[in-house]
Chain A
Amino acid sequence: MKKFEEISRLGASDLERISLDEKIPVPEELSGRVQDALNGLEESKGTGSRPGSAGSRFTRRILPAVSIAAALAAIVAIGLNRNPEPEDTFDDPYQAYAQVEAVFAKISGTVAYGAGKIEDAETRIDKISYWK
């Protein structure tokens, strides 16, 4: 196999002759590697970096991850911004406590009312059972 320095010294006619020589085996993976190199070249046109350079490799590997992270951050930020924390109604903890107490009184009142209704219903059921 020829080394890179030897190939670089060959002229265009020599290269053409060698490329037409079917006796020389062509590595199977060559076409894939050429395609990769072309793809890299296309990408580098978009990003402005040279194909195969550290910048190009970094861009290819990191850019999708960065875009995904940015998209996720945007989704979370939209969610949080839509629901900001309201302003406290009270400045004084004693007033706030009085409000909490009133809330529990209201909840308890409702529960007591419900329990009273159940008791009434049970009494009526007992009376019906007694007269049957």
Chain B
Amino acid sequence: MKKFYILALMLLASVSALAQNGRSLYNKYSDLPDVEAVYISPAMFRLIGKIPDVELQDGSVNFGPIIKSLSGLYILNIPKSEAAAQLADEVNRFVTKGHYELLMEAKDNGEVMRMYTAGDDKIVNSFIMLSHDASETSFICLDGAMPREQLEALITDAAKD
């Protein structure tokens, strides 16, 4: 019976951990007033994947392989408010508790941008970008099984363009 209680507690803990992800944050904040929210589902990503590769090419950057590896995109833009501050707090908390590592941080004139990734050396399972300034807080979360090399190449190539 003790084993059962331990198992149940572990399950409850994992359920709580599950609650802390891009989707839960999206569900929590997307319906608030003045919040700009975008969600792209795995089914829609499969449809995008059917668009010919030529059309997924933008200059020297080919989005095709990465798009086919994505399973969810969550975007939240919240104007400066209590909810915006709460979102930033929650994201900071769950990236600290989860398996995320800081990829990059940039600060300029009160604007703070942070990027985090979760996964291993080869695959990125989740990418998060959080930026907040005096006027708004933006949260972007990409879920999937993105080859790390391709994702990094895509970001740096696009930056060169």
Question: Contact residues of A with B, CB < 8 Å?
Answer: 68, 71-72, 75-76, 78-79, 82-90, 93-94, 96-97, 99-101, 103-115, 117
Contact = CB atoms under 8 A, between A and B. Distances in A.
Q: Which of A83, A109, A112, A113 has the most CB of B within 10 A?
A: A83
Nearest to B20: A83
Interface of B: 4, 7-8, 11-12, 14-15, 18-19, 21, 23-24, 26-27, 30, 37-41, 43-45, 47-48, 50-51, 56, 58, 61, 63, 66-67, 70, 73-75, 104, 106, 108, 113, 115, 127, 129, 131, 140, 142, 154-156, 158-161
Contacts of A82: 15, 19, 24
A85 B23 contact: yes
9 contacts: A83-B27, A100-B40, A104-B61, A104-B154, A108-B156, A110-B106, A110-B129, A110-B131, A114-B106
A104 B73 contact: no
Contact of A85 (B12, B41, B63): B41
Given A93-B51, A107-B115, A86 B63 contact: no
B112 to A, nearest CB: 11
Per CB-CB distance, the 7 closest pairs between chain A and chain B, nearest first, are: A79-B15, A108-B158, A112-B159, A93-B47, A108-B159, A114-B106, A86-B39
A72 B10 CA distance: 11
Contacts of A89: 37-40
Given A71-B8, A101-B58, A111 B23 contact: no
Contacts, number: 124
Contacts of B158: 104-105, 107-108
A54 B7 CA distance: 30
A100 B26 CA distance: 17
Contact of B26 (A75, A79, A86, A106): A86
Contact of B19 (A71, A79, A96, A110): A79
B127 to A, nearest CB: 8
Nearest to A75: B11
A107 B129 contact: yes
A9 B12 CA distance: 60
Contacts of B106: 110, 113-114, 117
A83 B23 contact: yes
B39 A103 contact: no
B8 A72 contact: yes
B157 to A, nearest CB: 8
Nearest to B40: A96
A86 B28 CA distance: 11
A22 to B, nearest CB: 41
